[in-house]
Chain A
């Protein structure tokens, strides 16, 4: 093997290893959100009160809800969440009191299909004042998938999302088609380098 080909082979091996490290890295992943920015105090809510937001889209695989809450220095209150649509309950969950204010995650029963036109109700425990953050009176609702997932585990979901809202005759296979396009680009590049370097 010529030195150039050895470098190309070694370089590709390093890329494959780096790629594996990145793709196997596990982390909580987002199922979706209500696209409300987290810019300002959206709603002030006393403990024992309930806030409902209508017309929400609950993404498939939502298994937790993340909110930004301010408690004026007190520990975060207990939080109950109930999601309903015209057909009845969609999901619900509860987070016990405790922990600092800031981002809190309320576990939900996993939602197995995307639900439109839902109403999300958040009830806070305790009696103190609280602030929920969002934009223009709407609280930001960010849905997380269950647990921690690697990019490999998430690949089918990414492939599905990647195929949406594009000029795309391939559906969820578009990501594979694009990977093949990239492979062709790499082949063209590596072939040319190898040939030209050995001339």
Chain B
């Protein structure tokens, strides 16, 4: 703990407090997929099983009746309907919390069934140690655990920036920009495996940056391996980061094999061995304890989707896949078929990042996004100016940058690969801004760089202004959600 700077602890504390605010602001189950995340936790906690029976019901009686009492199904997706507004309605919720119905889980398959169980296992412990015995109160305690993970994420973002940037104020500015990013805070205030994914991703960036700075040793290899293991067991999306991370380990080994000697080989072995060990344990648990396929179904399904092997489904050509993935992030080229009725870089990524809350049913008014775009332009320009000014430092970190680019490319590609299959199967858009939050560390770096780009005399005041902007952004997002559900 002594190695963690005081400022990092303050930034983490701010992130935890802000996420706790979100945990109260958002009504129960109104964070995307929170219903099925909770059902996974309750199934593990009550029955020791991952819900994975295609023919069975999805929710325990307790959760199903609570959702009805909370009017969940009639509020979600309908921004003109509020959460419950009267004591009369709360009476039926109180009746459930005082005499909770059957908690045992029918074990039905949900969207989260194929996910690995680490986050859910930790939340199941929180569920078990809760002093309360009803799901509504336990739900908040589980949310509080997610808020703690937000603190962990911000702590790792701070430590990553410390490896990357020269001055302490820059680390603070970048970490706080992440802490108050409203979509990050909103997800951190809910029960969602994304929260452990974000923490593991930030830890991976930190471990890689530290290793690139100080050399591949056993300790640093252990840190990379631990981040990889936790991330891979937190959420399948993390697997898209793994190839880039492995490339990083290979580059580090190539660079350090002479200087560090055996240490480098040990470090690489640890970086690969820890995730392999925990992966094997996970496979064994799937096969022996949970009676499901080796990788829980998730990796298998994703692989089939990526390879276009789903039986009976529309086959996806390579050209379609490339066109879709390109247009997901960049303007369409003249020879491409239009893949979207909207412009994803604006609609999904920019507007989604500025704020889209609830189950994607609570946006800001349109003018807010325009204002945000006007503010974002100088921030991006300043960050680019900083990169150009410090290009010599960038050249010195080329291998590290190649690693980050491979990690980013892996995730972006995976969203493209899975997104088209999902859209063809369901007719719904797949992409959401939160899928990019594993890059929280890079987001923090970009904001800190924008301050640096303002020049030596103005950089610190601009950094302070960016933090105030982040605070204001978070505040008005919280007010938006309060207005939607309670106004």
Bind each other: yes
Indicate if the CB atoms of A11 and B88 lie closer than 8 Å: no
A192: interface (CB < 8 Å) = yes
Q: Answer yes or no: A19 CB below 8 A from chain B CBs.
A: yes
How far is the CB of B123 from the nearest CB of chain A, in Å?
15
Interface size on B, residues (CB 8 A): 66
Which A residues from 16 to 70 make CB contacts under 8 A with B?
Answer: 18-19, 22, 29-33, 35-38, 57, 59-60
The closest CB in chain A to the CB of B470 belongs to A189
B contacts with A: majority SS: helix
The reply to whether the CB of B11 lies closer than 8 angstroms to some CB of chain A is yes
User: How far, in angstroms, from A165 to B140 measured CA to CA in the complex?
Assistant: 11
Instruction: Please tell me if B359 contacts chain A, counting CB pairs below 8 Å.
Output: no
CB pair A161–B82 under 8 Å, yes or no, is yes
CA distance A164 to B69 in the complex (A): 12
Please judge, given known A-B contacts A15-B471, A116-B88, A182-B17, whether A164 and B83 are in contact too, CB under 8 Å: yes
Q: Are B21 and A181 in contact (CB under 8 A)?
A: yes
Which of chain A's residues have a CB closer than 8 A to the CB of B93? 164-165
Q: Mark A146-184, 1 if CB is under 8 A from B, else 0.
A: 000001001000100110111100000010001001101
The stretch that binds A, out of B47-55, B112-120, B315-323, B457-465, is B457-465
A114 to B136, CA, bound (A): 24
Contact B85 A197, beta carbon cutoff 8 Å: no
| Stretch of B72-80, B395-403, B420-428 lying at the A interface | B72-80
- Given A18-B472, A158-B486, A166-B140, A185 and B89 contact (CB-CB distance below 8 Å): no
Report A141 CB to chain B, min CB distance, Å. 12
B139 sits at the interface (CB 8 A)? yes
CB distance from A79 to the nearest CB of B (A): 20
Determine the chain A residues whose CB is within 8 A of the CB of B14 once the complex forms: 185-186, 188-189, 192
Shortest Cβ distance from residue A117 to the other chain B in the assembled complex, whole angstroms: 10
B475 proximity list for chain A (CB < 8 A): 15, 19, 182
Interface residues of B in 61-78 (CB under 8 A from A): 69-71, 74-75, 78
**Count the A residues whose beta carbon is within 8 Å of the partner chain — how many?**
54
Q: Determine if B463 and A193 form an interchain contact, defined as CB atoms under 8 angstroms apart.
A: yes
B285 interfacial by beta-carbon distance below 8 Å: no
Alpha-carbon gap, A111 to B377, bound state (A): 50
Are B479's CB and A22's CB within 8 A? yes
Residues of A within 8 A of B (CB): 3-4, 6-8, 11-12, 14-15, 18-19, 22, 29-33, 35-38, 57, 59-60, 114, 116, 142, 151, 154, 158, 161-162, 164-167, 174, 178, 181-182, 184-186, 188-197, 199
- Which 8 pairs of residues, A with B, have the shortest CB-CB distance? A11-B468, A185-B17, A167-B140, A35-B74, A188-B14, A114-B86, A161-B486, A192-B10
Give the A-binding residues of B (Cβ under 8 A).
7, 10-11, 13-15, 17-18, 20-21, 24-25, 27-28, 69-71, 74-75, 78, 80-90, 93, 132, 136-137, 139-141, 168-169, 171-173, 176, 179-180, 460-465, 467-469, 471-472, 475-476, 478-479, 482-483, 485-487
Excluding A18-B476, A197-B463, 13 further A-B contacts by CB distance (< 8 Å) are: A11-B472, A15-B471, A30-B80, A154-B487, A162-B486, A164-B85, A165-B89, A166-B136, A167-B140, A185-B13, A186-B14, A192-B7, A197-B464
